[in-house]
Every structure is written in C-alpha cells, then in structure tokens.
C-alpha cells in the first residue's frame, strides 16, 4: 500500500473515530490509539516508519504555542506551588523511579535507564482535559493539569538530553545538569518573550482573517527554531511566545482575525494530536516483534507501568493530604483539597505525544533502543487505555469539586459589559453626539440583551429555531434562482455568526 493511501486511511479513521468517541463520550485520544492498533493489525499494511525530526518539527511548536495561548493564568497562579512540584519534582522522581525498576529487572546501565525514565516521565493531559470538561470538573483542577503540562515537557527534555549525553560520552555532572537547566530555561524564556511581542505587534496591524492565523503559526516556529539552533529550551520558547500572544490577543487582535484564528488553530491542533495518537497505535507490530525477541521484557514493561502510575498517585495524594497550605489553594472555595481530587489528579497521568517523539528521536545506534521503544509504547498504551477509560467513572463516583463558578462568571461578565456600554451611551447622549432616536434604539437593544441574560437558555433555544427558519428561507430563494450562491454564503455567514454568538 502506497504512502498516499496510508495517509488517506489515517485521516479517514481520525474523522470516523472522532465522531464515534463523541457519541460514546469517550475521550478521543483513547479510541484513536486503539484505532491505530487496529490499523496496524490490518493484513498487508506495511510498518509505518516516521522520521522523528519531521515529527518533532511538525507537532511540537504549534502544540506548545497554542496550549500556552489558551491556558488560564489565574488558575495557574493559584496552583503555582503545586504545579512546581508536579512539573519539576514529580517528573524527576518518576524518571528515577522508572530507571531504578528497569535497572533492577533488566540490568540496564543507569544512564540508559534514566533516558527511558525521562521519556515516560511527562504526562499528556489531552485525554484528562477532554473528560474533565465534559464532566464539569473544577477549573482549579483543570488549571493544575494545564499548568503542569506547560513545564513538565521542559523538565523531561532536560533530563533526557543530559542522560543521552552521559550514555554517548560517558560523563555526568549534577552541577552541570542544574546549570544547563537554568541556562536553557532563561534562554528559552527570553527568545519566547521577544517573539511573542513581535507577533502581537504584527497582528495588531493585520486585518485579514486569513493572514493573521498564518502569522501566528509562523510565530510558533520563529520561537522554536532559533532556540533549537542556540541550544536553549525550544519548548519554553514556543510556550512563552504563545502565552505572550494569548495574553495580548484581547487587546490587539481584531474581532474578525480572532474568530478566524480560533477556528484555524482548533482544527489544526486537533488534527495533529489525532494523527499523533494514531501513530502510537501503529507502532504495535514493531513492538510485538521486538518483545518476542527479548525474553523478560514483559516484566520490565509491567514494572515501568507500575512505577509511573504508583509514583504519581502517591505524590499527588501526598500534596493533597500532607501539605495543607498548598492543598487549600487547589479548590475554588478555598477549602482544603480533598482526597478525591488528589486521587483524580494522581490518576490523570496518561502519557502521549511527547514520549512517542522522544523515543523515536533516539539515535539508531543508541544502546538498548529496542527496549526503550517497547517500554515507552507499553506505558503510553496502558496509561491511555486503563487510566483514560476509568477516569470518567472515577470522576462521576467520587466527591470531586465541580465547576459551579464558570456560568456565574459568564453572566457577571455579560452584565458588566452591558452596564459599561449603557453608561457610555449616556455620556455620548449627554454630549449630543447621537440623535435621540438612535440613542433610544441602542438603549433598547442593550436592555433587551440585559434581560436575555437571566433567561438565556429558553431565549437561546427560541432564537436558534428562528435562525433555522431564516436559513431555510434563503436556501429556498437560492433554489428558486432569486439569489446567487455568493449572496447565499454572505447572508448565511451572518446567520452562522448569530447562531454561534447565542451559545456563548
């Protein structure tokens, strides 16, 4: 089967599995990985060989940039202490725990074992965040996982590169590793900040909704590639650039470019993530072939999986139950973080894309590369399937804090914005900058909007029905030849915008 047919098959599977996962209410990454396994078992399908450099370049910069763009700084600030512990300390503990298990079971050299530990140490929150938002989990807990993901990739990569250097050159210095950590972090942050401000400056001067998302995407690579060339943290550079652009978007971006940008980025990031999870499943034939040739490797895989899961659960439970001043900040109501939230945070340690990219990026002559591939794939597959599938049941059946704040904040924001507009309208009217008839019309429109906020759900449903009636009417005009397709699209775009806005 040719590469073109395989690519087409993967895209078709992504679309079908996504629809199925939403109908079954199972997080997409889980079913996509399982679908990848199913594809790998199809007779006649050749083994998929992915160039790790291309994979790294295609996936990491935009994903890091966009994830940082959309995170909520308020929740990250509230969780700063816990995020520091889970994204730095926990990553290091997990890497060394996995390394110790592999060293004891297989006799791997410590440096090689630490490389594998660093590969499986960072979590991928995509599956958890999908489930958490479906089940109305507290924004504070979601913010903890979001914030952790911003930094744990960087921590794992520093460990990974340091351990690889020790394997290939036979030397390791703790002082050098810590110094390298600080230096690469500082360099990445500076490059990311500069690129972020540059992209924001350009976006403020671009009115074309087709061009602005391209500029933003280019910004992700403009931060990542120079940092990579200068041997500083490209991950932090892309992440900081995304955060700077995201924090300034509301102030500098134009409405049409912002709307177009969200649509572009959501589609692009979803497609990248989906293909990545399918690729995880497609590695199965190679892994099965290598497992049969390596006696005792199953014990190593089981040990690594246990180390990854148990370490995270114990660490998160320890934070929630043993450090009260940090635990209290993890709840929106200020109460101490209960054991249920601690357990869910601990059980949310699914692995994913970065681990796959790191293991595939190992040099072909790296010692024990086959073992690294098998262990990594096993950890990704088991954590995604076991933890991912059980996560909804866990959240539903434990007294986890729920999101009781977002709807209230949305209502408050709408009302405050409406009050500000009405107040400004009074000022304009007092200056006689608008005639009385137009002023009264605008006041009435804003007051109607204010009243709609209280009965939002009922009014939104009726308005949606009326928009459907309008849409059918203009389609009928097109069928009759009264209007052209171009006019249909123009009017339909306005109706679509109203339909989207009524759901906000």
Average pLDDT over residues 41-53: 72
Place of tokens 């059946």: 397
Average pLDDT over residues 195-213: 90
Does position 409 have pLDDT exceeding 70, yes or no?
A: yes
> How many Cα atoms occupy the beta-carbon half-sphere of 475 within 13 Å?
7
Residues of the chain above pLDDT 90, percent = 18
Mean pLDDT, range 103-114, rounded to an integer? 91
Backbone φ and ψ for 402, nearest 5 degrees, come out as -100, 165
- In the prediction, which pLDDT does 174 show? 63
How many angstroms separate the CA atoms of 68 and 350, rounded?
19
Q: How confident is the model at residue 96 (pLDDT cuts 50, 70, 90)?
A: very high
Q: What angle do CA 121, 63, 403 make, to 5 degrees?
A: 80
pLDDT more than 70, % of the chain: 88
Average of pLDDT values for 387-400? 87
Q: Are 320 and 80 in contact (CB under 8 A)?
A: no
Please give the average per-residue pLDDT across 80-92, as a whole number.
89
Confidence (pLDDT) at 103: 93
HSE (CB half, 13 Å, CA atoms) of 196? 24
Q: What's the pLDDT score for residue 1? A: 60
pLDDT of residue 80: 82
pLDDT band for 41, please (50, 70, 90 cuts): confident
For residue 283, is pLDDT > 90? no
- Residue 404 scores a pLDDT above 80: no
pLDDT value of residue 104: 92
Average pLDDT of the segment spanning 23-40 = 80
Phi/psi of residue 398, nearest 5 degrees = -110, 155
**Long-range residue pairs from 200-207, CB within 8 A, at least 24 positions apart, any chain:** 200/244, 200/245, 200/248, 200/249, 200/252, 201/252, 203/245, 203/249, 203/252, 203/253, 203/257, 204/252, 204/253, 206/254, 206/257, 207/254, 207/256, 207/257
Distance CA 444, CA 233 (A): 54
Rounded Cα distance, 289 and 286, in Å: 5
Q: What is the pLDDT of residues 113-160, one digit of tens each?
A: 999 999 999 998 777 877 787 778 887 788 888 888 878 888 888 888
Q: Which two tokens stand for residue 301?
A: 């895989």
* Range with top average pLDDT, 36-50, 90-104, 120-134, 447-461: 90-104
pLDDT value of position 400: 81
- Predicted TM-score of the model (pTM): 0.78
At 314, is the pLDDT very low, low, confident or very high (cuts 50, 70, 90)? very high
Q: Residue 12 pLDDT > 80, yes or no? A: yes
The pLDDT tens digits of the residues spanning 330-363 come to 665 666 667 788 888 899 988 887 888 888 888 8
CA dist 204 and 194 (Å) reads 16
pLDDT in tens, 415-467: 787 788 878 878 877 776 677 777 787 777 777 766 666 555 566 677 777 78
More confident residue, 286 or 232: 232
């Amino acid at each position: 089967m040719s590469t073109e047919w395989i690519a087409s098959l993967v895209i078709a599977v992504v679309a079908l599995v996504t629809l199925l996962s939403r109908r079954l209410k199972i997080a997409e990454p889980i079913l996509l990985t399982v679908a990848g396994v199913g594809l790998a078992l199809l007779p006649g399908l050749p083994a998929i060989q992915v160039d790790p450099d291309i994979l790294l370049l295609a996936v990491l910069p935009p994903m890091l940039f966009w994830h940082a763009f959309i995170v909520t700084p308020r929740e990250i600030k509230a969780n700063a202490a816990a995020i520091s512990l889970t994204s730095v300390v926990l990553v290091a503990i997990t890497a060394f725990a996995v390394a110790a298990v592999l060293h004891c079971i297989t006799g791997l050299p410590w440096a090689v074992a630490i490389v594998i530990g660093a590969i499986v140490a960072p979590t991928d929150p995509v599956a958890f965040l999908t489930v958490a938002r479906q089940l109305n989990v507290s924004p504070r807990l979601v913010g903890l996982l979001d914030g952790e993901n911003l930094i744990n990739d960087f921590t794992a990569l520093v460990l990974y590169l340091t351990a690889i250097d020790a394997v290939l050159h036979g030397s390791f210095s703790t002082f050098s590793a810590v110094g390298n950590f600080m230096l690469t972090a500082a360099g990445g942050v500076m490059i990311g900040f500069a690129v972020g401000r540059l992209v924001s400056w350009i976006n403020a001067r671009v009115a074309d909704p087709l061009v602005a998302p391209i500029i933003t995407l280019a910004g992700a690579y403009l931060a990542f590639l120079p940092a990579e060339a200068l041997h500083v943290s490209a991950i932090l550079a892309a992440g900081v650039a995304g955060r700077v652009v995201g924090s300034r978007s509301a102030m500098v971006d134009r409405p049409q470019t912002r709307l177009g940008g969200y649509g572009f980025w959501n589609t692009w990031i979803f497609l990248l993530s989906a293909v990545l999870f399918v690729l995880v499943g497609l590695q199965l034939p190679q892994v099965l072939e290598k497992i049969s040739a390596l006696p005792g490797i199953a014990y190593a895989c089981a040990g690594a999986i246990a180390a990854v899961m148990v370490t995270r659960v114990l660490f998160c439970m320890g934070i929630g139950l043993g450090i009260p001043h940090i635990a209290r900040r993890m709840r929106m109501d200020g109460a101490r973080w209960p054991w249920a939230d601690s357990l869910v945070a601990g059980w949310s340690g699914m692995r994913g894309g970065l681990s796959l990219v790191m293991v595939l990026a190992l040099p072909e002559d790296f010692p024990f590369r086959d073992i690294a591939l098998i262990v990594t794939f096993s950890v990704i597959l088991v954590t995604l399937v076991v933890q991912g599938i059980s996560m909804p049941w866990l959240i539903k059946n434990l007294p986890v804090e729920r999101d009781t704040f977002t709807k209230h904040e949305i209502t408050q924001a709408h009302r405050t914005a409406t009050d500000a507009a009405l107040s400004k309208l009074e000022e304009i009217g007092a200056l006689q900058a608008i005639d009385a008839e137009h002023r009264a019309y605008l006041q009435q429109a804003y007051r109607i909007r204010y009243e709609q906020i209280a009965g939002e759900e009922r009014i939104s449903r009726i308005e949606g029905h009326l928009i459907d009636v309008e849409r059918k009417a203009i389609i009928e005009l097109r069928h009759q030849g009264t209007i052209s397709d171009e006019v249909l699209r123009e009017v339909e775009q306005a109706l679509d915008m109203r339909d989207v806005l009524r759901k906000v």
